[in-house]
Chains A and B, each alone.
Chain A
Amino acid sequence: MDRQTWVGSILAVITTQKERVQGGAPIFIVDNLDELEKLSFTLEKILDAEVHALNQETYIVVRHG
């Protein structure tokens, strides 16, 4: 797919539910919601990209524009 048509790209997925995610982006499985928050925070800073919550258990890190 032409990258220029993407509005944002998913750089990472962090989740407590490993059976519900799969795909091309790096996936980080965590044990609990605290770890979800901490890991997402770290990844946000490292990747300089935004963390969005798909639901309570799954966050994605997205690079916009």
Chain B
Amino acid sequence: MGTYTWAVILGLFYGFLSRLTMLKTDFRQYPTYHHGKVIHLSLGFIAAALGALAVPALLEKNYTAVTFLALAAQQFRDVRNMERETLSRLDQNELVPRGSAYIENIAMIFESRNYIVIFTALLVSLVTISIEKTWGTVWGTLLGFISGGLLLLINQKMLCAYHVEDLADVTVGHVDVHQADIWVDGIYIMNVGLKANQEIIKARAVGIVIHPHDLTAQVTLSNLGQRQAILHDASTILGVYRDTGEPALVPLIKRNLTDGRIGVFLLPEEKDVEKARRVVAKVAILESALRLPMKASARRRAL
């Protein structure tokens, strides 16, 4: 085996493995099954190869390796743009769209995961080579394995996002149909004129109320992109009792301005209120929606 063989193999292995462990096809079906997964894993493999080869290339005074990394960053940004465009076009065919903020979140996470793969492969390769030079191949390989395992654990930690239940209490609300006005626990939702639609809503609608814990939660959950994401995720799991040509039967989410509560109005295929409550509680907070007004220095000065 050559001087850098173990470094490259371990870098490639752990880089690819980190992408594999970060790939979750869950109820949100992104990436889409089979072919979508192949695209993500292939790009992950390329990123792992770049990361693994960067350190040996630089040690051999082949400084064009840095150019390749810059090229790779450009490529991953282009792929992110492609993902965004594809998801945006497909969003037009959804009964309850994701919204541009959710799509942007997905595209950004996609790009960032490729960079995480590059760094993982690079770090494992660097550790292996450094230890090999001092203590020999056996120790270098062993510590390469250990560092790879540690980095995988760190990557899993980075996957953890906030959920709605971390910022607010989520309770089941009561849907009131008062003539044409629809309310969820005193939060006004909308006006539905036709009696046929009112009857459908009385029979099938589910109301959920989100009570933010503090100002941070209130500002974050008020974000329109975040609210649309809640509706999309809830409708994906619970189904939605609507079709094109049924504009009145639309899930909505409205804010009560006096107390900051948020009313979620859903029309699931199956009326299970506790399941709906759990689903809404588990919706991830979008990175673009997260606000931290409590940490703003202006606010601290005011206090």
Q: Which residues of A contact B (CB under 8 A)?
A: 37, 40-41, 44-45, 48-53, 56, 59-60, 64
Query: Would you give the 0/1 interface string for B225-269, flagging 1 where the beta carbon is closer than 8 Å to chain A?
Result: 000000000000000000011011000000000000000000000
Interface membership of B180, Cβ < 8 A:
yes
Q: A52-B180, A53-B179, A53-B180 in contact; A37/B248 too (CB < 8 A)?
A: no
Cβ-defined contact, B247 with A48, below 8 A: yes
Q: Are A40 and B244 in contact (CB under 8 A)?
A: no
Q: Is the CB of A52 within 8 A of B191?
A: yes
- The smallest beta-carbon distance between B243 and chain A, in angstroms, is 11
**Number of B residues, CB within 8 Å of A:** 13
Contacts of B247 in A (CB 8 A): 44, 48-50, 64
Instruction: Tell me which of B191, B194, B245 contacts A40 (CB under 8 A).
Output: B194
CB distance from B249 to the nearest CB of A (A): 10
How many A-B contacts are there with CB distance less than 8 Å? Answer: 38
- B194, A44: Cβ atoms closer than 8 Å: yes
Secondary structure call for the B interface:
loop
The 4 closest A-B pairs by CB, nearest first: A53-B180, A51-B193, A53-B193, A52-B191
Give the residue name and chain of the A residue nearest to B250 (CB).
Answer: A50
Inter-chain contacts of A40 with B (CB < 8 A): 193-194
State the Cβ distance, A34 to closest chain B Cβ, in Å.
10
B72 proximal to A (CB < 8 A): no
Known: A37-B194, A37-B195. A50 touches B179 (CB 8 A): no
B residues in contact with A51, CB < 8 Å: 192-194, 197, 248
User: What are 20 A-B pairs with beta-carbon distances under 8 A?
Assistant: A37-B194, A40-B193, A40-B194, A41-B194, A41-B196, A44-B194, A49-B247, A50-B193, A51-B193, A51-B194, A51-B197, A52-B180, A52-B191, A52-B192, A52-B193, A53-B180, A53-B192, A53-B193, A56-B179, A60-B193
